[in-house]
Amino acid sequence: MGRIRLKVREFTHFNGWTLREVSNRTGIPYATIKKYAQANSLATVDYTALQKLAQTFDVLIEELVEVLEE
Protein backbone atom coordinates (compact mmCIF):
# COMPACT_ATOMS: atom_id res chain seq x y z
CA MET A 1 0.00 0.00 0.00
CA GLY A 2 1.33 3.44 -0.89
CA ARG A 3 1.67 6.43 1.35
CA ILE A 4 0.62 9.98 0.58
CA ARG A 5 0.92 13.43 2.07
CA LEU A 6 -1.85 16.00 1.82
CA LYS A 7 -0.78 19.56 1.09
CA VAL A 8 -3.31 21.02 3.51
CA ARG A 9 -0.85 23.29 5.31
CA GLU A 10 0.50 24.71 2.04
CA PHE A 11 -2.93 25.56 0.62
CA THR A 12 -4.14 26.89 3.98
CA HIS A 13 -1.15 29.23 4.15
CA PHE A 14 -1.52 30.25 0.48
CA ASN A 15 -5.14 31.31 1.12
CA GLY A 16 -4.30 33.09 4.38
CA TRP A 17 -6.61 30.85 6.40
CA THR A 18 -6.23 29.01 9.66
CA LEU A 19 -6.85 25.29 10.02
CA ARG A 20 -10.00 26.17 11.96
CA GLU A 21 -11.24 28.21 8.98
CA VAL A 22 -10.55 25.29 6.66
CA SER A 23 -12.57 23.09 8.99
CA ASN A 24 -15.47 25.56 8.96
CA ARG A 25 -15.36 25.96 5.17
CA THR A 26 -15.23 22.22 4.47
CA GLY A 27 -17.40 20.86 7.27
CA ILE A 28 -14.57 18.44 8.13
CA PRO A 29 -13.88 18.18 11.88
CA TYR A 30 -10.98 20.33 13.04
CA ALA A 31 -9.17 17.31 14.52
CA THR A 32 -9.18 15.64 11.10
CA ILE A 33 -7.92 18.78 9.33
CA LYS A 34 -5.18 19.12 11.93
CA LYS A 35 -4.17 15.46 11.49
CA TYR A 36 -4.02 15.86 7.70
CA ALA A 37 -1.97 19.05 8.01
CA GLN A 38 0.54 17.63 10.50
CA ALA A 39 0.99 14.10 9.13
CA ASN A 40 4.21 13.46 7.26
CA SER A 41 2.48 10.59 5.51
CA LEU A 42 -0.83 8.79 5.51
CA ALA A 43 -1.80 5.28 4.43
CA THR A 44 -5.52 6.05 4.20
CA VAL A 45 -7.65 9.13 3.79
CA ASP A 46 -11.39 9.72 3.42
CA TYR A 47 -12.13 10.34 -0.28
CA THR A 48 -15.08 12.59 0.58
CA ALA A 49 -12.73 14.73 2.68
CA LEU A 50 -10.33 14.94 -0.28
CA GLN A 51 -13.15 16.15 -2.50
CA LYS A 52 -14.24 18.77 0.04
CA LEU A 53 -10.68 20.02 0.55
CA ALA A 54 -9.99 20.22 -3.18
CA GLN A 55 -13.25 22.09 -3.77
CA THR A 56 -12.58 24.51 -0.90
CA PHE A 57 -9.02 25.21 -2.08
CA ASP A 58 -10.26 25.32 -5.71
CA VAL A 59 -7.69 22.77 -6.89
CA LEU A 60 -7.77 19.28 -8.37
CA ILE A 61 -7.38 16.36 -5.98
CA GLU A 62 -4.14 15.54 -7.79
CA GLU A 63 -2.74 18.93 -6.75
CA LEU A 64 -3.67 18.32 -3.11
CA VAL A 65 -2.03 14.90 -2.86
CA GLU A 66 1.68 14.14 -2.93
CA VAL A 67 2.47 10.45 -3.52
CA LEU A 68 5.39 9.44 -1.29
CA GLU A 69 5.59 5.76 -2.18
CA GLU A 70 3.55 3.34 -4.25
Give pLDDT tens digits for 8-61. Answer: 999 999 999 999 999 999 999 999 999 999 999 999 899 999 999 999 999 999
CA–CA separation, 2 and 15 (whole Å):
29
CA–CA separation, 54 and 20 (whole Å):
16
Q: pLDDT value at position 1?
A: 63
Where do the structural domains in the chain lie, given as residue ranges? 3-69
Whether residue 2 is predicted with pLDDT greater than 90 in this model: the reply is: no
Question: Is 0.95 topped by the overall pTM?
Answer: no
65 - beta bridge partners? 6
The matching CATH number, chosen from 3.90.1300.10, 1.10.10.10, 3.40.50.300, 1.10.260.40, for 3-69 is 1.10.260.40
4 vs 1, residue with greater confidence? 4
Q: pLDDT value at position 69?
A: 75
